[in-house]
């Protein structure tokens, strides 16, 4: 039985426009692209259904994956590599498998890379040698991304000046304050516009052909992505960053009808989601039921089959 506060209270009930609304939790990180995505989902689903979705913000994904797995929060958001490792109990989730997570939707590509102030005058990752680079706690997502990115240029933490960094919000603040020379950033995320103004120009460092294999060894599902046509901070005509999918997942015991309502709201909510910001520009509702190696919630599968977009068996 689900142990979340919402479900323990028989799924909290409030009156909204004369209808009875169930309150459900959506776990997310505080700040950055993940919070933007969670806020957009919560608004879209809450407006389109009798569900009231409440984002529950924590410092990092590794804190809330166990909460969703244990049923203390109904839904959560994470990137594909982190969800993959959580379900397998490998990599950054070694020894802590989360077998009770089921996918609800494959959302949008997480288009990200290594961003530096343009004043550094570098455009490739080998230019990071000797620079001040965030060092996240071992086995965290930030640690995986930084280590894998450095490895594409034949670098390690020994080749840079490591700056201890607790989490993504701390990373963003340190970069904005000039305490580091680098941040992991999402192309088109709201905070990058702030960085561009504060630092008087920012640049995404370019990955090269073959780097996708190095990245995918640490971050399953990762691929390279040219983004020269994007009109967002840090991007120029030749910019190549990396990408992997964002996923929405739920505890396996969330009722099928609740998951189906969320899936339906996302499928029909393309306009509402895209109104929230450019991070949703590539959202395609026909692809949210993209089957892969990770198992979907039966409530989601049932809905995707009903509208003809399920790609699994």
Per-residue confidence of the chain (313 residues) as pLDDT tens digits?
444 434 433 344 433 333 467 999 999 998 778 899 999 999 999 999 999 999 999 987 888 999 999 999 999 999 899 888 988 888 888 888 899 999 999 999 989 999 999 999 999 999 999 999 999 999 888 999 999 999 999 999 999 999 999 998 899 999 999 999 999 999 988 899 999 999 999 999 999 999 999 999 999 989 999 999 989 999 999 999 999 999 999 999 999 999 999 999 999 999 999 999 888 989 999 999 987 778 999 999 999 999 999 987 7
Beta bridge partners of 51: 22
**How much is the pLDDT for 172?**
96
Contact 195, 185 (CB under 8 A): yes
**124 DSSP assignment:** B
Which three-class secondary structure state does DSSP give residue 220?
coil
Buried/exposed code over 100-112 (b: 16+ C-beta within 10 A; e: otherwise): bbbbbbbbbbbbb
- Residue 299 contacts residue 257 (beta carbons within 8 Å): yes
Say if strands 75-79 and 19-29 run parallel, antiparallel, or are unpaired: parallel
Strand-pair partners of 74 = none
Closest CA to 166 of 180, 150, 155, 187: 180
Are 163 and 180 in contact, with CB atoms under 8 Å apart? yes
**Are 72 and 26 within 8 A, CB to CB?**
no
Rounded CA gap, 125 and 198, in Å?
A: 23
Q: For residue 276, what pLDDT is reported?
A: 92
Q: Give me the torsion for CA of 215, 217, 219, 221, rounded to 10°.
A: 90
**pLDDT at 20 (0 to 100):** 61
Task: Report the pLDDT value the prediction gives residue 171, as an integer from 0 to 100.
Answer: 96
In the chain, beta strands by DSSP E: 13-16, 19-29, 51-58, 75-79, 101-117, 132-135, 161-164, 183-186, 202-204, 223-226, 240-251
């Amino acid at each position: 039985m689900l142990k979340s506060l919402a479900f323990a209270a028989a799924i909290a009930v409030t009156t909204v426009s004369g209808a009875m609304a169930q309150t459900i939790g959506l776990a997310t990180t505080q700040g950055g692209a993940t919070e933007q995505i969670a806020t957009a989902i919560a608004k879209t689903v809450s407006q389109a259904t009798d569900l009231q979705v409440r984002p529950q913000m924590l410092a990092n994904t590794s804190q809330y994956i166990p909460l969703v797995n244990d049923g203390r929060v109904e839904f959560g958001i994470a990137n594909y590599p982190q969800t993959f490792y959580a379900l397998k109990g490998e990599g950054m989730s070694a020894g802590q498998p989360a077998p009770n997570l089921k996918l609800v939707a494959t959302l949008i590509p997480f288009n990200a890379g290594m961003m530096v102030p343009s004043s550094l005058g570098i455009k490739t990752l080998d230019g990071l040698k000797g620079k001040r680079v965030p060092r996240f706690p071992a086995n965290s997502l930030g640690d995986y991304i930084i280590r894998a990115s450095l490895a594409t240029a034949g670098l390690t933490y020994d080749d840079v000046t490591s700056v201890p960094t607790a989490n993504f919000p701390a990373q963003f603040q340190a970069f904005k304050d000039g305490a580091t020379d680098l941040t992991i950033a999402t192309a088109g995320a709201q905070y990058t516009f702030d960085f561009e103004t504060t630092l008087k120009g920012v640049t995404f460092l370019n990955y090269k052909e073959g780097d996708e294999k190095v990245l995918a060894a640490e971050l399953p599902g990762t691929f390279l992505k040219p983004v020269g046509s994007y009109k967002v901070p840090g991007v120029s005509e030749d910019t190549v960053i990396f990408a992997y999918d964002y996923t929405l997942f739920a505890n396996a015991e969330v009722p099928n009808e609740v998951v189906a309502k969320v899936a339906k709201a996302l499928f029909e909510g393309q306009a509402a989601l895209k109104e929230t910001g450019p991070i949703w520009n590539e959202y395609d509702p026909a692809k949210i039921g993209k089957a892969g190696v990770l198992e979907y919630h039966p409530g989601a599968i049932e809905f995707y089959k009903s509208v003809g977009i399920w790609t699994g068996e």
